[in-house]
Structure 1
Amino acid sequence: MCNLYDVDPEQVNALFDRIAEYDDAMRDWTTQVFPKMDAPVVLLVDDKPQVSLLRFGLIPKFSKGQPKQPLNNARVEKLSSWPWKTSVGQFCAIPMTSFYEFSYWGEQPGHKLKFSFPESRSFTAGIYNGKSMTMLTRPACESMMEMGHHRMPLFIEPDSVETWIASQEKNVDACYDTLRSIAIDPEFECDSCGQMKDGWQKRINGRIKKRDEQLALIEEHGALGID
């Protein structure tokens, strides 16, 4: 589960300038994004790409209030299920320059890892409702799986941002067709940014079980875990 990611304003603003118009007031945001914080996204408004600040953690349609736990990750293979299905067709692209996950096996078990992108041109697919959003996740790619984590954000080609946000497909199968055509396994650098708290070893067996479940999902349904 991706609960923390970085947005470098200088790099991301330069990228936004190439794909969307927006006010200078939209150029100031926190560089580290935690659940319930506002973060920049690209979405379609009046048939044009627009940069907006949305809350990281989806508040589903028809929800009576904020969920007790932030809904900041949506498994792509579960898009036809509640609460995600009500936001299918409302697509956004979420820029990030790095993200963080915990490692439970591989070369650095017990470490918090930072995954960053040399070219700093990375977008994940997202869905939104009102002023809130969540990122789509998928089974980890081979290199990330080897580094000790079983899931990752669903990254898309930077040049396909408009394709994603303009598709507005409410049919999940059609949405999957679009994602299969634009999803990528980005090249990233991986560095340790500290050790996990004592007791993490107690979670190893459970995490390895989840890893094996993801490997089985990939074997049956392909790299993204969708038919």
Structure 2
Amino acid sequence: MCNRYLIKAKLENIAARFNARLIDDFELGVECLPRSSVPGLLFDKQSKRVLAGLQFAFCPPGCESPGDPKRALNNARVESIHKWPWKDAFRTSRCVVPMTDFREPCYWGETAGSEVYFHRPDHDLLLAAGIYRTWRSPDGESSVVTMSLLMRPAGDYVMSHGHHRQPVFVDEQEVDQWLERRTLETQAGVDLLRSLAIDPELEHTHARDMAPSWTKRQSARMRERDEQLAALETASAVGF
């Protein structure tokens, strides 16, 4: 799952590239971690693009604070998008999250035992599909827009380099279709996402070696990989 990614770009440049209004004043670090404030593309009420600061951790209904639950909900599996807590946001509140690199641990192949950054050969932006929900305080005085990335079975490159999941990426020319403010039934949303999903050309860069204990997790990860590969026999070219 994607718990860490990089944005090697300035907020102003991202906003200009997508002709989006920058609506939040927040400091953008290169490294994006769970619960950090990260940029995301949304449609405003006039269906105009905005670049907003989103908390990289989805806050379900009923949470007392945007820091709930204790385990950050930053990855939503496409296969489970019809379930709580994702289903309502998936139907109504969709976003696109720019990144240049996403980081994953590798459990097989030539990169086994390491964490790597996956990125385009030219380090240009990758555009990940996401969902969002606005948390509001009980007194109505404060609010935080929270988001989760949508995750799919890994494409060939990521899979061959030791990890079985990756974000769902969409083409730059198609982002408005995903951002459109309309309510979709779950299957219609999945069909739309499937039609927009791409497998961009990727390369990888070594981030660090994992601690020796990684081998204790290896068999479980490979079992998850094999179960997923068996399920993919009836899936589309993009894995869902």
TM-score of the pair, normalised by structure 1: 0.93
CA separation in 2, counterparts of 1:78 and 1:32? 27
Judged with a 3 Å threshold, the aligned counterparts in structure 2 of structure 1 residues 25 and 124 are, in CA distance, closer, same or farther, namely closer
Q: Could you tell me which amino acid in structure 1 is paired with residue 125 of structure 2?
A: R
Q: Which residue of 1 aligns with 2:200?
A: 186
CA separation in 2, counterparts of 1:129 and 1:159? 25
The answer to whether 1:170 aligns with 2:207 is no
Q: Which residue of 1 aligns with 2:95?
A: 92
- Residue pairs, 1:57-76, within 5 angstroms: 57-65=57-65, 66-76=68-78
Q: Is the 8 A contact 2:12 2:22 kept in 1?
A: no
Judged with a 3 Å threshold, the aligned counterparts in structure 2 of structure 1 residues 180 and 25 are, in CA distance, closer, same or farther, namely closer
Give the gaps of 5 or more residues in structure 1.
none
Q: Which residue of 1 aligns with 2:232?
A: 218
Which of 81, 84, 91 aligns to 2:83? It is 81
CA separation in 1, counterparts of 2:99 and 2:206? 18
Q: Is the 8 A contact 1:7 1:95 kept in 2?
A: yes
- Which structure dedicates a bigger proportion of its chain to helix? 1
Please, which moves more after superposition, 165-174 or 205-214?
165-174
Which of 120, 125, 131 aligns to 1:121? It is 125
The answer to whether 1:5 aligns with 2:5 is yes
Q: 1:16 Cα shift? A: 2.6
Please, which moves more after superposition, 112-121 or 96-105?
112-121
TM-score of the pair, normalised by structure 2: 0.88
CA deviation vs aligned residue, 1:152-185 (integer Å, no higher than 9, x gap): 0110111111111015343111111211211000
Q: 1:219 Cα shift? A: 1.1
Q: 1:26 Cα shift? A: 4.0
Which of 120, 145, 170 aligns to 1:156? It is 170
CA separation in 2, counterparts of 1:121 and 1:114? 13
Judged with a 3 Å threshold, the aligned counterparts in structure 2 of structure 1 residues 150 and 23 are, in CA distance, closer, same or farther, namely closer
CA RMSD of aligned residues (A): 1.8
Q: Helix, strand or coil for the counterpart of 1:128?
A: strand
CA separation in 2, counterparts of 1:69 and 1:24? 28
The answer to whether 1:209 aligns with 2:228 is no
The answer to whether 1:109 aligns with 2:112 is yes
CA separation in 2, counterparts of 1:33 and 1:168? 29
Q: Could you tell me which amino acid in structure 1 is paired with residue 52 of structure 2?
A: S
Please, which moves more after superposition, 179-188 or 116-125?
116-125
Q: Is the 8 A contact 1:9 1:28 kept in 2?
A: no
The answer to whether 1:133 aligns with 2:147 is yes
Q: Is the 8 A contact 2:6 2:32 kept in 1?
A: yes
Q: Could you tell me which amino acid in structure 2 is paired with residue 62 of structure 1?
A: G
Q: 1:119 Cα shift? A: 4.9
CA deviation vs aligned residue, 1:99-119 (integer Å, no higher than 9, x gap): 100110001210111112225
Name the % identity: 36
Q: 1:64 Cα shift? A: 4.1
User: How many pairs align?
Assistant: 225
